[in-house]
Chain A
Amino acid sequence: MNSSKWEIGPIFRALMRNKVGAVLIAIQIAVTMTIVVNSIFIILERAELMKRDSGIDEANSFYLTTTGFATDFNAQSTTTEDLEAIRNTPGVLDAIQINAIPTSGSGWSMSFQTEAGEGLEDEGAAVYMIDENGLNTLDIELIAGENFTPSDIRWRAPGSPDWPETVIITKALSESLFPDENWQFALGKTIFISSNQPMIVKGIVDKIQAPWVGWSDLEHTVLVPEKTLFNSNRYFIRAEPGQRDAIMPEIEEMLASSNKGRIIRGMRTVEETRERSYRSDAAMIKILSTVMVILTIVTGLGIVGLASFSVNRRKKQIGTRRALGASQSAIVRYFMLENFLISTVGVVLGAGLTIGLNVLLVNMFSLPALDWYFVPAGMLVLWLVGQIAVFGPAKKAANIPPAMATRTV
């Protein structure tokens, strides 16, 4: 490659003598890069959050709420009969009563610690009350210890402060409770709920998310062997693959007709629940994507505008260059190079602003710090946008005839 044909020095010096338009475009590129790169980072981060596996069989599961209102409503017998009827319904894989739904946004949380006593270090965890069918219904993998047996399951009366003697915890909670040990260490150990009530870790499951998707300890979860005697209860039902939508109305109708002293409400798939929980994140992704696209287009159009203006203003100059021996490709190269220099100033400034905005977001909104490669990737994209945008005006400039040099107007 012949370096003399790359007129970097003369172009740069010419830009320095006529810099208002170029500086404005460089600033626009810098601002666009700052917003686009941080937006992409936020979008990818949100998308990553939304992709997290809840640990349960979302595709085939649904749940509903049954609320007894009759004066003779018996929660225990109703729950027992309901679960038996649901489990015997063709197309149902398994079912349980549960106090909260993963990713739903509403549930129970308690603190757990490895030693009894007030004021000691503890870990918060979501609590799901399930029976011996819980692991199968939720499709959670037991990776150590044992499942609950029917004899472990007890009925919890409203307002009861007591907790069962055994508990199954997630691997993530095990690692947090015993940070210096491997995750199997918790098995068989006694942990304490509400500061001093002992529970023996009977099993460890791989994963089940808490109800709150925005919580940093989303996989801090415990399963306790309990069914509740509340008037209002939830049933979590796992269907055979592909059967969910067919059996939902069937189950609803069966429960409604089996006991006239209660109502059935809030029937919803787990997929829908996940979609609702992440709706604000999905909206943010859409908004940021739209802003990014608009900003990039506006910047591209700005470059097209400046380059077109520049070509029109310099027709005679371009004709003179052609007369002096510039080929059409040399004229295209000139404008591409000029834009590259402007874009370089813009993206270098943009790199600084991008990091600055990220630091601000980290400090103000506890967002994670930008991965290093986002900045060079953003620079590359904006360079490319500039080159693509300037190509049209550059081609137009190259078509200016050399005879333009001798025209008097």
Chain B
Amino acid sequence: MLKMTDVKKVFRTELVETHALRDFNLQVNEGDFVAVTGPSGSGKTTFLNIAGLLETFEGGQYELDGQDVSNLNDKARSQLRNEKIGFIFQSFNLIPDLNLFDNVDVPLRYRGFNSAERKKRIEESLEMVGLANRMKHLPSQLSGGQQQRAAIARALAGQPRFLLADEPTGNLDTKMALSVLELLKTINDFGTTIVMVTHDQHLAEQAKRNIYVRDGKVSESGEVVSLENAVNA
């Protein structure tokens, strides 16, 4: 599903060169639910950005769903993001001037679906996250948990093969975080591959597999690891 081989990413300014990822190797299989943890500045978000085709990288190879995406142009990357990847962001990233229906509609329009198909998918995805009765609400009229559910509905509406979540519960209280996590697990149970970047070790432990990133490299990879193991690694 996702295979990174010796991926490198360097951020350069006039004075400083920062190696965000160094020989980053990772394989995520179809149906996985992978939690990526690591200290601040370890390269988690850079990995997520590259995995989501949000950023390019300097060296190595990245295959997504069997396709080498290392050297795609911007248009092809946009199309792949739209068709194969769903995003869930820490700050939800809903568009504040659009109601939930229009927010979920955004990626579907870029996909080129007709009006009836979009309406069907929007209603189904909002129904799945329990917000079918809030379609005309603006994001500001919802709680944080509801906003994140709406963002998940937006990510799911395009029926992506691969869901990337960046600190999906980072802005939520414990109760809401748990409900979002349950939702993600349900989505994974339906077969969607999920990669989740998080600081929350308890959340990471709920995933099928944990990845620990340090200094731009995968430091630990395997089945669920405990907080102690991760810290001691």
Contacts and interface: CB of A to CB of B under 8 A. Distances in A.
Interface residues of A, number: 29
A360 interface: no
B89 A327 contact: no
B91 interface: yes
Contacts of A405: 54, 87, 89, 93
B1 interface: no
A324 B138 contact: no
Interface string A394-409: 0000000111011010
Contact of B78 (A18, A325, A406): A325
Contacts of B82: 324-326
Contact of A406 (B83, B98, B111, B166): B166
Interface stretch (A1-9, A130-138, A362-370): A1-9
B48 A325 contact: no
Interface in B47-76: 48-49, 52-55, 74-75
Contacts of A2: 112
B141 to A, nearest CB: 12
A81 B115 CA distance: 94
A325 B112 contact: no
A4 B115 CA distance: 7
B137 interface: no
A323 B98 contact: no
A321 B48 CA distance: 17
A5 B109 contact: yes
Interface in A307-323: 316-317, 320-323
A403 B109 contact: no
Most B Cβ at <10 Å: residue of A2, A10, A328: A10
A325 B83 contact: yes
Contact of B113 (A4, A10, A14, A403): A4
Contacts of A324: 81-82, 87, 106-107, 110, 154
Given A327-B74, A328-B74, A403-B55, A18 B81 contact: no
Contacts of A403: 49, 54-55
Contacts of B105: 10
Interface string B79-101: 10111000101110101111100
A5 B110 CA distance: 6
Nearest to B83: A325
Size bin of chain B's contact surface: 35 or more
Interface string A258-289: 00000000000000000000000000000000
Contacts of A327: 74-75, 78-79, 110
A325 B95 contact: no
B74 A320 contact: no
B111 to A, nearest CB: 7
A330 interface: yes
Interface string A92-122: 0000000000000000000000000000000
A52 interface: no
A325 B111 contact: yes
Contacts of A320: 89, 93, 95
B98 A10 contact: yes
A307 B22 CA distance: 40
A14 B54 contact: no
Given A14-B95, A330-B110, 19 more contacts: A4-B112, A4-B118, A5-B112, A10-B102, A10-B106, A14-B98, A320-B89, A324-B81, A324-B82, A324-B154, A325-B81, A327-B79, A402-B55, A403-B54, A403-B55, A405-B54, A405-B87, A405-B93, A406-B90
Interface of B: 45, 48-49, 52-55, 74-75, 78-79, 81-83, 87, 89-91, 93, 95-99, 102, 105-115, 118, 138, 154, 158, 166
20 contacts: A4-B113, A5-B109, A10-B98, A10-B102, A13-B97, A17-B138, A18-B97, A320-B95, A321-B95, A323-B52, A323-B87, A324-B81, A324-B107, A326-B110, A327-B110, A328-B75, A402-B52, A402-B53, A406-B48, A408-B91
